[in-house]
Structure 1
Amino acid sequence: MTLPITPQKPLGEYINVYLARSTDPEIRKRRISSGGAVTSIICYLLEHKICDAAVVAKRTVGLQGEVVVARTRDEVLEAAGDKWSIVPFTSRLRRIIEDEGLRNVVIVGLPCQVQFLGHMKAFPILETDFGERIKVLISLFCIGTFAHEVFLAYLRSAHGIRAEEIKGMRISGDDLIVTLISGKEIPIPIREAYPYLQAGCLLCTDYTGVLADISAGTVQSKRGYTILITRTKLGEEIVTKAANEGYIEITEGGTEVVNEVVKNALEKLARAQKYAVQLL
């Protein structure tokens, strides 16, 4: 299994691209910028017993996070939110799955994590029982994650932002918008933040998570909606059935949406090629 990412196919192979959002008012309220479709899909998987638990990263303080196992709607909602620092749950996953006695897990991760887990899911013989317990992989779009301490030091020195003040972050156009607990939003040019990404992220070519069953993220032109890319028969089935059961609303993504995701994916691919050349 290889990563089929090229300038001609920066999104890899996929079945469909959907514009989606949750039908649940509470989820929509919590996930204003993204529409909350991933949260609702996980609720569908748990409530219909397709999966017995979701393993996700939950943001705690500032940019810090922890791995949690969510089995109920309330636990899923508690964990929902943007993550901008890497939570190394792949190193803890075997213990979590075995200790919790999980048999059919949905995992939400970043493209780099999904690469590892996708191979494990496809070739479970390499890790007896572990890969076979991964039912669904959902990857979040990712420009990269920040090196925690140095990025927080940068935010403090350049913008006067303390870690404990941060409520969330999102990308808007060419800016990284830092939202404070007070409600104030501070725009930071995204290219100004690039030097504080993890070194491995600068070399990563995968923006959407091409080995996932479903990839999910947002685009600037469709604020309030989730872009869902279905890549496997299972992923397509989950999205359409979640819509049929009333958990999410979906429409075809259309050329405009696809082109915007492609543009972002090509920018990450070009960045990786640039930094790879610098290392040679």
Structure 2
Amino acid sequence: MDLPDSVLALDGNTLLPTVLKEDVEAVQICGGPAGLEAELQQLKDLSRVNHEMLIQTEEQLQKEATEDAQFRNQFGTRWTRPQSSTLTKNLQDRLNRFAANLKQAAESDALIDRSVREHSALMSILDSRPIESALPSLSRPIMSLDASEDSIVGALKQSLRQLDTLGAQRAGLEDMLKEMKRKDNILPKLMATAGSHEDLFRKEISKCDHICEEIAKNLGDQEQILMHIQAQNDEFAAIFNFEDYKVSREKTYKQIEAAIAKYREIKENINDGIVSREME
């Protein structure tokens, strides 16, 4: 019957499924979509530092090669040092791989940046605090012929309160019954009774009769209340167009799920990029 969610929705207190709410809170604790911008900037800063290192190293190698060529021209055969290209071959090979990695990283950064821009609208829902504020609320009918909405809602809320009261009362009765059974040790009485124990059992069981009767009455009252609630809820759902509300609510749930999935994907890509830059 979607109770009590339907009544809560009318008061603007739509609830989010627990698992989904926890996922959203985890995203918000990590900074949410806005935090991706800072992480993306960190990624760009690391790439810039690595690119500067590449240029500096290339300049040093070029300088060394130039000096080697000058000395070789100046001293001729007296300059017996191995050629610069031979001495720096391993370093040059590593530098070439480093440059290739930086090029690939730059392309990856561009894809991440574009993904953040393209999905910013989708992920913006995760910045809603509390997240429930992004959910639709159940609206009252625009037009009413007999202004009966308030009485219907009031009757339904009253029935729900009665149901809660019956549940609390029954729990108390059941606790009393358990306590009686715990305290009533029938073994000594059995040992002290000669002959048939049937009368003893009947007498001991009868001690619980009044509580069992109250529990049975409680369950009967609950059954009546549930019948009333069913009828009241059907009327409530029809007047407030609850089915359309549920469709809108489920659509928002799916939007939040899609936003979380995209956020996690982008964040993972950024984190992978940061780790790879720091290892280079």
Say whether the fold is shared (TM-score over 0.5).
Answer: no
Which one has a larger percent helix, Structure 1 or Structure 2?
2
* Larger-Rg structure: 2
TM category, shorter: under 0.3
Q: TM-score, with normalisation over the residues of structure 2?
A: 0.22
Which one has a larger percent strand, Structure 1 or Structure 2?
1
Q: TM-score, with normalisation over the residues of structure 1?
A: 0.22
